[in-house]
Structure 1
């Protein structure tokens, strides 16, 4: 397991006043791929990828894997009976939780 640098932030990304390193970029590459990071982090990740060939290559591989998974698995839906069963079970658990916490 890689040890993060000393300036590695709580969110997994390097602190704002630090230079972005490859370890931090690769740790957060899925945030960028999934559009789950804020604008500041996205810009810093993208700037690093624009300047770092190895990270850009690794990002490209991850992006291709994500697209492949989305294409092969993205359109699948759970069968209706399973969705109904899960909905019933979730409602049952919520009801039980409410009864227990109300006591």
Structure 2
């Protein structure tokens, strides 16, 4: 599942991507999990409106992290 998430988030290494591609045909649960996760991610991307975070909020978050 971690590899599937990494692939969908474009964070997987080439080796992980290749391993997944080579083995996904052999694993029905892997195929189903990949399709479900991709569908969820695609649906969320279509429904959310991406806006930049105001600098004042970012400053507050950073100060809380650093304290």
Structure number with greater CO (CA < 8 Å, separation at least 6) is 2
TM-score tier after normalising by the smaller chain length? 0.7 to 0.9
Structure 2, unpaired ranges of 5+: none
Moved over 4 A (4+): none
Alignment TM-score, normalising by the size of structure 1: 0.51
Alignment TM-score, normalising by the size of structure 2: 0.72
Distance 1:88 1:41, change over 3 A: closer
Q: How many residues align?
A: 64
Larger relative helix fraction: 2
- Paired with 1:37 and 1:49, the residues of 2 have a C-alpha distance of 15
Structure 1, unpaired ranges of 5+: 1-25, 98-103
